[in-house]
Amino acid sequence: MKLIFEKSIKGRDGYSLPRDLFKEIKIEDCLPEYSISKDKKLLSEVSEVDVIRHFTKLSKLNYGLDDGFYPLGSCTMKYNPKINEKLASLSNFIYAHPLAPEETVQGSLEIIYDLNKLLCEITGMDEYTMTPAAGAHGELTGILIMRKYFVDREDKRHKMLIPDSAHGTNPASAAMGGFQVVEVKSNERGTVDLTELAKLMNKDTVGLMLTNPNTVGLYDEGIKDIEKIVHGKGGLLYYDGANLNASLGIIRPGDAGFDVVHLNLHKTFSTPHGGGGPGAGVIGVKKDLIPYLPTPIVAFNSDQKKYYLSDVGEKSIGMVRAFWSNFPVLIKTYVWILSMGPDGLYNTSETSIINANYVLTKLKKYYKPAYDRYCGHECTVTGKEYKKYGIKTLDIAKRLMDYGMHPPTIYFPHFEPYAEETIMVEPPESESKEMLDKFIEIMIKISNEAKTNPELLTTAPHITPIRRVNDALAVRRAILTYDDELKLKDELKYQDKDINF
């Protein structure tokens, strides 16, 4: 599609300036000459109508959750309730300046305070910080808390254990936290190998980062032994909450012995993904770790009946961002929890687990499961049976688009020999049985096509706005702005149909 720059007409505008531009004041009297830009910075020149049409057209090239099935594994693409959006956009909230006096923001502070209590009860933790902006940001925060805890004890642990099935953010966060990453292999059941864990866990080791159910969608049945091994050697247990959607009202990470928990509010707690954020990656800790939380936290003064931002104290890891939280995400989470209640939360996990096992049961004749056992809220199957027809999992994923569905997560997790060419399906509680049946029917159809007409898959998708892209060229040529493109104008030679669709 044409870029906004290609629609720009000199002299056109899309914004109404205030009437009074303080014309009597000369800019030269305000700013020194060395600071003023010699030329106007060129954006684009389009009208409001142009902007509306441009972005409406762009939006139609996207596929959103409200368009249909979006079974990305470990992403929990569940329905984003509309009332939550309305309530998060009330003017008393959105125009609140982060440095406004505390007495003017008592409502915002109350929500943060109350949500803290609710999340503590749901996960069995003692205190939350609402500060981290995303899951990985929460991971880094949690890891820095663990680090500070040991530094305070003059305990020089420097290794972090991470299962091979973990999200890439786990090892990356541990490395940012200054730890050496040690991988723990999975056993033939797809979960943590206890013998291996016992061997690796020692006095140099900070602890273990665990997702439970893990990224294959499997509950770690050895969780009690894992807890004993890690705590037994003085380590801490970190819970990656990406997959909490399988646990609500059933099991709480706090009760299972986890010391630090991060929650992706944009997954389990229904807030939208926005094409890659903003979400929130709040961190919950047990009592001993509260002094290390990032500063400040919201507290309540019961004498004055007043909420306030409280400095965590000198043990705090410090700040991990400017200001306090991704506040609208917290409101949406708060409203969602209140709308669900205890029964609704249980129903959420129960339904998502039944959904995932239903899909697994119906698909396993056609796509071999990575591990043949009941799963949590997501199931991992593989496309490796189709290699003999020249079909990769990627081809299956692309073919799904032709049937109007977003593909599941593919090629993750990956560990041989069980989990290769993986297809990880997460059908959250907001997906109906009819939708699952349709997905299953299409997947079976694709399995037949793979055998009888593989080209249909290798050339898919066919009916999407664009078709398969040349990733290698994007890296080699590195056109990262329109100005980069303009420099290569003669080489590129786009025809009208290539940019005007």
Partner 1 sequence: MRYIPNTEEQKRGMLKDIGVSSFEDLIESIPQSIRLKEKLNIPEAISESESEEKIYHIAQKNSNFFLMKPLVGAGAYRHYIPEAEKFLLQREEFWTCYTPYQPELSQGTLQSIFEYQTYISRLIKMEVVIPSIYDGASATAEAALMSLRLTHKNKIIVSNLLHPHYRETVKTYLSPHEPEIIDLPYKKGLVDLEKLKTLIDEDVASVIIQSPNFFGGIEKLAEISETVHSKGALVISVIVESMSLGILKAPGEMGADIVTGNAQSFGMDLNYGGPYNAYLATKKQYIRQLPGRIVGETVDVDGKRVFVMTLRAREQDIRRERATSNICTNHNLNVTAANIFLSLIGTEGLYQISLLNTKSAHYLENLLLKSRKFERVFDYPFYNEFLLKSKDDISVINKKLLENNFIPPLKICEFYPNENLKNALLFAVTEVLSRDDLNKVAKILSE
Structure tokens at 40: 């106007």
Query: Restricting to residues 340-359, which ones interact with partner 1 according to CB under 8 A?
Result: 340-348, 350-351, 353-355, 357-358
Q: Does 187 bind partner 1 (CB under 8 A)?
A: no
Q: Does 156 bind partner 1 (CB under 8 A)?
A: no
Q: List the one residue out of 156, 125, 85 whose CA is nearest residue 333.
A: 85
Q: C-alpha angle 49/53/57, rounded to 5°?
A: 170
**Burial, 454: exposed, middle or buried (Cβ in 10 Å; 0-12, 13-18, 19+)?**
middle
For 263-329, the DSSP string reads --TTTTT----TTT------EEE-GGGGGGSPSPEEEEETTTTEEEEE---TTS---SSSSS--HHH
Query: Restricting to residues 363-392, which ones interact with partner 1 according to CB under 8 A?
Result: 373-374, 376
Closest contact distance (angstroms) between CB of 231 and partner 1 is: 14
Q: Does 483 bind partner 1 (CB under 8 A)?
A: yes
Q: Does 458 bind partner 1 (CB under 8 A)?
A: no
| Residue where the block lists tokens 């705090």 | 316
Query: Residue 182 is inside which H or E element, if any?
Result: strand 180-184
Q: Does 413 bind partner 1 (CB under 8 A)?
A: no
Q: Does 491 bind partner 1 (CB under 8 A)?
A: no
Q: Does 452 bind partner 1 (CB under 8 A)?
A: no
Among 111, 192, 263, 396, binds partner 1 (CB under 8 A): 111
Nearer to partner 1, 98 or 390 (CB): 98
Nearer to partner 1, 311 or 451 (CB): 311
Query: Restricting to residues 219-278, which ones interact with partner 1 according to CB under 8 A?
Result: 219-221, 223-224, 248-252, 255-257, 264, 266, 270, 272-278
| Stretch near partner 1 under the rule CB under 8 A, chosen from 230-238, 336-344, 415-423, 450-458 | 336-344
Q: Each residue of 184-203: b (16+ CB within 10 Å) or e?
A: bebeeebbbbbebbbebbee
Q: Does 133 bind partner 1 (CB under 8 A)?
A: yes
Nearer to partner 1, 262 or 384 (CB): 262
Structure tokens at 183: 């991988």
Closest contact distance (angstroms) between CB of 384 and partner 1 is: 21
- Pattern of binders to partner 1 over 64-83, x per CB under 8 A? xxxx--x-x--x-xxxxx-x
Nearer to partner 1, 246 or 450 (CB): 246
Nearer to partner 1, 338 or 451 (CB): 338
Would you put residue 427 in left (φ > 0), alpha (ψ -120 to 50) or beta? Answer: beta
* Angstrom distance (rounded) from CA 304 to CA 433: 52
Query: Restricting to residues 276-315, which ones interact with partner 1 according to CB under 8 A?
Result: 276-279, 281, 294
| Stretch near partner 1 under the rule CB under 8 A, chosen from 55-63, 194-202, 297-305, 379-387 | 55-63
Determine contact, residues 239/210, Cβ cutoff 8 Å.
Answer: yes
Structure tokens at 438: 């349709």
Q: Does 210 bind partner 1 (CB under 8 A)?
A: no
